[in-house]
Structure 1
Amino acid sequence: MQISAKADYAVRALVELAADSARPLTCEGIASAQDIPFRFLKSVFRDLRQAGLVRSQRGCEGGYWIGRDPAAISVAEVMTAVDGEFLTLRGARPDSLVYPGAARRLPDLWRAVEAAAQSVLGRTTIAELAAEGAAGTEGAEDGASQRTGPGSSVRDVSPAVPA
């Protein structure tokens, strides 16, 4: 499964906005803080604004605010806002796939992958990510947060593989 740069940048931008909601943040400031190309981030903000996930104000005191309560914005919603369909296979939704012969069960696997990803990303909110980021990254290398340990909001949903 591949997560687009656009979805990654959108989530990171919203987490940045949620972490500092007392004032509007500029696109330049968010791009710099998150090491995101400024011109690309501007197009991401256009999609986020259309989806109601951010609001903007022009002028010298302007910038962006998060558009709704970050606890009510899931990562899955952000991904769908900037990329369209949550998961597609060669442009088709997994629920519309039908394969012949020996591969006839393969669409069931793709639907299960979509359901597992939707489950994890649908229950992970921007507020949770912002709170975890603000808590620091103690023990993490390169400043990257380790999100799969005990107490993490991201759960292991990998399918059981028989031995």
Structure 2
Amino acid sequence: MRISARTQYALRAAAELAAASPGPLPAERIALAQGIPRRFLDNILLQLRRAGLLRSQRGPEGGYWLARAPDQISLADIVRIVEGVPEGGDHGGFPGVAGPLAGVWDALRDHEQAMLSDVTLADIARATAGEAAQPRPS
């Protein structure tokens, strides 16, 4: 699986917000803490806010915070917002003996989606506190 830089930045920003104390966190602090270029981060935060994942407040005491509890936001939620909904399993139909590969790619995509759906921002925040980030038991 290849994760774009934009998606990695979005995941890192969301993890920073999940680990933050309650209240708005300024974009500048997120950018500095995660080494994300500020202009790039501003666009990502706007995209996540428009999708309903974040809330924001302007002004000197402003910033961003999660719109839902960290245990209610999976990594898949963020990937879906940034990357879009993955397309179905149409791989153009591989010819001949390679035909079954389409099923392998579909199974791989489904496994990746399940794994990302099982890990929440709360899991990542707990890992920051010294626990290993693990998918929740199904």
Q: Normalising by structure 1, what TM-score? A: 0.77
Determine if the alignment matches structure 1 residue 95 to structure 2 residue 95.
no
In 2, the alpha carbon distance for the partners of 1:106 and 1:123 equals: 26
State the SS of the aligned residue for 1:64.
Answer: strand
Q: Which runs of 5+ in 2 are unaligned?
A: none
Q: Which amino acid is 1:37 matched to? A: P
Counting matched residue pairs gives: 135
In 2, the alpha carbon distance for the partners of 1:109 and 1:94 equals: 13
State the SS of the aligned residue for 1:65.
Answer: strand
Partner of 1:51: 51
Q: Normalising by structure 2, what TM-score? A: 0.90
User: Alpha-carbon deviations, 1:43-72, whole Å to 9, x = none?
Assistant: 111110111111000111110011111101
User: Alpha-carbon deviations, 1:118-156, whole Å to 9, x = none?
Assistant: 1111100011101111337xxxxxxxxxx5xxxx5059x
Decide whether the 8 Å contact of 1:48 with 1:81 is kept in 2.
Answer: yes
Determine if the alignment matches structure 1 residue 31 to structure 2 residue 38.
no
Q: Which amino acid is 2:106 matched to? A: R
- Please say which of residues 1-10 and 93-102 is displaced more in the overlay: 93-102
The offset of 1:21, in angstroms, is: 3.5
In 2, the alpha carbon distance for the partners of 1:94 and 1:81 equals: 17
RMSD between aligned alpha carbons?
A: 1.7
Percent of aligned pairs sharing the same letter = 44
Determine if the alignment matches structure 1 residue 109 to structure 2 residue 104.
yes
Partner of 2:62: 62
Q: Between Structure 1 and Structure 2, whose CA radius of gyration is higher? A: 1
User: Alpha-carbon deviations, 1:1-25, whole Å to 9, x = none?
Assistant: 2101111111111111111141211
Partner of 1:130: 125
Q: Which runs of 4+ in 1 moved over 6 A?
A: none
In 2, the alpha carbon distance for the partners of 1:51 and 1:126 equals: 17
